[in-house]
Amino acid sequence: MTNNQANINKIVTPCQKGLKGTIEIPPDKSLSHRAAVFSALTHAKCEIFNFSSGKDCHSTLGVLKALGVEIDFKTDKNLILKSPKEFQKPSCMLDAGNSGTTIRMMSGVLARLPFDTVITGDQSLQKRPMKRIITPLEQMGAVIESNDFKAPLTIRGKKLHPIDYASPIASAQVKSCILLAGLGTEGVTSVTEPYVSRNHTEIMLDYLGADINTDGTKVSISQSELTPCPIHIAGDISSAAFFIAAALIVPNSDIIIKNVGLNPTRTGILDVFKAMGADIQILDERTVCGEIVGDIRVKTSDLKGTTIEGAMIPRLIDELPVIAVVATQANGKTIVKDAEDLRAKESDRIAVMAEQLRKMGVEMEETPDGFIIEGKQNLRGSATIDTFHDHRIAMSMYIAGMVGDSPIEICEFEWVDISFPEFEGMMAGLC
- Catalytic annotation, residues: 318
Interface of this chain with ligand S3P, residues 70 to 99, rule: CB under 6 A: none
Closer to ligand S3P by Cβ: residue 4 or 368: 368
CB of 101 to ligand S3P, least distance (A): 4
317 contributes a contact to ligand S3P by CB under 6 A:
yes
To ligand S3P, the closest distance from the beta carbon of 211 in angstroms equals: 21
Considering only residues 95, 193, 202, 318, which one is a binding residue for ligand S3P as defined by CB under 6 A? Answer: 318
Please, what is the minimum distance in Å from the beta carbon of residue 173 to ligand S3P?
A: 4
Q: Are 319 and 268 in contact (CB under 8 A)?
A: yes
Q: Where are the alpha helices (DSSP H) in 277-390?
A: 320-328, 349-359
- The residues that bridge with 81 in the sheet, in sequence order, are 46, 71
Is there a contact between 131 and 153 (Cβ–Cβ < 8 Å)?
no
Report the residue number, 39 or 176, with the smaller CB distance to ligand S3P: 176
Q: Is residue 107 involved in binding ligand S3P (CB under 6 A)?
A: no
- Contact 420/392 with Cβ under 8 angstroms? no
* CB closer to ligand S3P out of 51 and 301: 51
Choice between 36 and 326, CB closer to ligand S3P: 36
Q: How many CB atoms lie within 10 A of CB 167?
A: 18
Q: Which of 40, 67, 172, 231 binds ligand S3P (CB under 6 A)?
A: 172
Which one-letter amino acid corresponds to residue 113?
Answer: L
Asked if 220 is part of the footprint of ligand S3P (rule: CB under 6 A), the reply reads: no
The C-alpha torsion from 317 through 150 and 350 to 217, rounded to 10°, is 30
- Rounded CA gap, 181 and 159, in Å? 10
b/e map 296-317, b = 16+ CB within 10 Å: bebbbbebebbebeeebbbbbb
Number of neighbours of residue 361 by Cβ within 10 angstroms: 16
Nearer to ligand S3P, 173 or 253 (CB): 173
Nearer to ligand S3P, 63 or 408 (CB): 63
Residues in contact with ligand S3P, counted by CB under 6 A, come to a total of 12
Minimum distance of ligand S3P from residue 16's CB (angstroms): 33
Amino acid letter for position 379:
L
Q: Which of residues 4-33 bind ligand S3P (CB under 6 A)?
A: 30, 33
Q: Which of residues 127-166 bind ligand S3P (CB under 6 A)?
A: none
Q: Compose the 180-209 pattern: x for residues touching ligand S3P by CB under 6 A, - for all others.
A: -----------------xx-----------
Other Cβ atoms less than 10 A from the Cβ of 421: the count is: 16
Binding window for ligand S3P (CB under 6 A); candidates: 8-16, 112-120, 137-145, 171-179: 171-179
Q: Applying CB under 6 A, which part among 68-76, 169-177, 266-274, 374-382 lies near ligand S3P?
A: 169-177
Q: Nearest approach, Cβ of 266 to ligand S3P (angstroms)? A: 10
Strands of 157-233, DSSP E = 164-166, 188-192, 211-215, 218-222, 231-232
Task: Please say whether the beta carbons of 57 and 420 come within 8 A.
Answer: no
- The nearest distance, CB 374 to ligand S3P, in angstroms, is 27
SS3 of 38, please?
helix
Q: What is the end-to-end Cα distance of the chain in Å, rounded?
A: 29
**Contact between residue 200 and residue 34 where contact means Cβ atoms under 8 Å apart:** yes
Q: Which residues bind ligand S3P (CB under 6 A)?
A: 30, 33, 101, 171-173, 176, 197-198, 317-318, 341
